[in-house]
Structure 1
Amino acid sequence: MTYCVGTLTSEGLVMLADTRTNAGIDHISTFRKLQTWGDPDDRTVALMSAGNLAVTQAIVGLLNERMEDPEWDQTQTILGAPSMFAVARLIGEAIRDVRKVDGPSLDQGAGGFQASFLLGGQIAGRTLRLYQIYAEGNFIEATEDTPFFQIGETKYGKPVLDRVMHFDMPLKEAAKVCLISMDSTLRSNMSVGLPLDLLVCKRDAPGIYTARRIHETDADYAEIRNRWSDALRQAYQDIGEVDLKAG
């Protein structure tokens, strides 16, 4: 299992993913679930994945292979597509292509064909965008009214997003809320784990982004984790007692 969250704000884009797969008592693996492609002054494209690791790796591998193929129409690749909408369509097509090959055999098992993605970024002259792409290859786009998406193990980190996240939130605040959402998930589900991959893009700065890997010893993350826990304990104590008398 995994957890990825992405949010679109008036200032930019935040994308955050964990790296744990195959969690178990004696088998914990780490794989990067946040992929980035960029071209200075032209575009930043970021893709986060959840689901069957073999499936999501096959889809990302196919996307990379097409960019490297000199005979493939490069306008039909992540680095050549004219818009983020076109990139979302290309990823949807890659999902369907992999499903044609692997889907029938996977559908015979209990898990089936599982793959979902969050796609974010901006191309020069175009608008910053965030999409959620489903296993069927179709997708939806984030808006001012619905500025965040989640994939993977979503339920533990959703309450703080529902209560706090909004489109006009400053970018640094959005990153903080995403990290709180991730920490809530880490606390409650051992199949999601550190290190984390964080990417932040400012609006109208295509090709420029900040990427950061966050480990257990990261000072900023430790402060967020500890202060959020303290704040929850204090809030619980500040709430009045429940009247247990029979009514």
Structure 2
Amino acid sequence: MTYCVGLLLNRGMVFMSDTRTNAGIDNISVVTKLRTWNVPGDRFICLMSAGNLATTQSTISLLEERGLAPHQRTPTLLTQPSMFQTAKLVGETLREVISYTNEPGSEGGSRFLGSFILGGQIKGGRPRLFMIYPEGNFIEAGPDNPFFQIGEHKYGRPILVRTYEPEMALEDAVKLLLVSFDSTIKSNLSVGLPIDLQLYETDRLEGGHRQRFDDRDPYYRQISEGWGDALKSAFDQLPPFNAAPAKA
């Protein structure tokens, strides 16, 4: 399992993903699930994945290679005229990989599924954010659904719903997502550190700040411990419950 979030703001986008992958409780490793492609002045693309690791990695490999000789290879993600066409390409490639991985009539096909969050901006267009399903179809973020989560999302969703504002600074969005991830990591062993972060500023057309947080990172530790203390303080300030006296 995994946890990835893409967040759309007025000032840009924030992408965050954990790195844990496991094939059982005794086979846990770290794998990057956040990939970026960049042509300064023309486009920036970020892709995050969840699901079967072989499926998602095969999809990314196809997007990058597509049968060309090594000296001719230009990732097909970098040749699309719009972010919509880029999302369509990712969806079609994912569906293709799943179709040849799963045998016809197989009941175990769900083991080989995957999904993606795709975000970025191409010159002449606005920043756009998509969630791409195993079937190859996709939906786009907007004012009513400004963020997407894939993987183990239920524990980290409440803080996003309660706190997100489209006008918030990218730095505040990072703080918000770290709280969301910390809540998820403490609730589910299948999500774990390190956490990968990628920022993108609207109309910059190249990647922004990139960072990895592990358990030694002082800012992550400050957020984790501070959020726990803040929750305890807020709980203590709530009015006490008084049971009504029993009637005779």
Return the TM-score normalized by structure 2: 0.92
The answer as to whether partners of 2:65 and 2:73 remain within 8 angstroms in 1 is: no
* Deviation of 1:69 (Å): 4.9
For the residues of structure 1 that align with 2:54 and 2:105, how far apart are their CA atoms? 11
**Which amino acid is the alignment partner of residue 233 of structure 1?**
K
For the residues of structure 2 that align with 1:107 and 1:180, how far apart are their CA atoms? 40
The answer as to whether partners of 2:3 and 2:50 remain within 8 angstroms in 1 is: yes
* Stretches of 4+ aligned residues off by more than 4 angstroms: 67-74
Greater Cα shift, 217-226 or 185-194: 217-226
* Deviation of 1:71 (Å): 11
For the residues of structure 2 that align with 1:46 and 1:183, how far apart are their CA atoms? 22
* Deviation of 1:171 (Å): 1.4
Q: CA RMSD in A?
A: 2.2
In the alignment, what sits opposite 1:5?
5
The structure having more radius of gyration, on CA atoms, is 2
The answer as to whether partners of 2:102 and 2:109 remain within 8 angstroms in 1 is: no
Instruction: Call closer, same or farther: CA 1:107–1:9 in 2, change over 3 Å.
Output: farther
The answer as to whether partners of 1:116 and 1:135 remain within 8 angstroms in 2 is: yes
**Which amino acid is the alignment partner of residue 156 of structure 2?**
G
Greater Cα shift, 104-113 or 35-44: 104-113
For the residues of structure 2 that align with 1:14 and 1:67, how far apart are their CA atoms? 32
* Deviation of 1:65 (Å): 1.2
Instruction: Call closer, same or farther: CA 1:67–1:85 in 2, change over 3 Å.
Output: farther
In the alignment, what sits opposite 2:103?
104
- SS of the residue aligned with 2:90? helix
Greater Cα shift, 138-147 or 155-164: 138-147
Same amino acid, percent of matched pairs: 48
In the alignment, what sits opposite 1:21?
21
Greater Cα shift, 217-226 or 101-110: 101-110
For the residues of structure 2 that align with 1:67 and 1:10, how far apart are their CA atoms? 38
The answer as to whether partners of 1:67 and 1:79 remain within 8 angstroms in 2 is: no
Residues 63-78 of structure 1: pairs in structure 2 closer than 5 A: 63-66=63-66, 69=69, 77-78=76-77
In the alignment, what sits opposite 2:117?
118
**Which amino acid is the alignment partner of residue 220 of structure 1?**
Y
Q: Does 1:219 align with 2:243?
A: no
* Deviation of 1:24 (Å): 4.6
Return the TM-score normalized by structure 1: 0.93
Cα deviation, 1:72-115, whole Å, max 9, x if unaligned, reads 996x9101111111110100110121122112269432744421
* Deviation of 1:41 (Å): 1.4
The answer as to whether partners of 1:107 and 1:113 remain within 8 angstroms in 2 is: no
Residues 161-172 of structure 1: pairs in structure 2 closer than 5 A: 161-172=160-171
**Which amino acid is the alignment partner of residue 63 of structure 1?**
L
In the alignment, what sits opposite 1:175?
174
The answer as to whether partners of 2:98 and 2:113 remain within 8 angstroms in 1 is: no
Instruction: Call closer, same or farther: CA 1:73–1:26 in 2, change over 3 Å.
Output: closer
Instruction: Call closer, same or farther: CA 1:14–1:153 in 2, change over 3 Å.
Output: same
Instruction: Call closer, same or farther: CA 1:73–1:126 in 2, change over 3 Å.
Output: farther
For the residues of structure 2 that align with 1:228 and 1:179, how far apart are their CA atoms? 10
* Deviation of 1:12 (Å): 0.5
Instruction: Call closer, same or farther: CA 1:73–1:87 in 2, change over 3 Å.
Output: farther
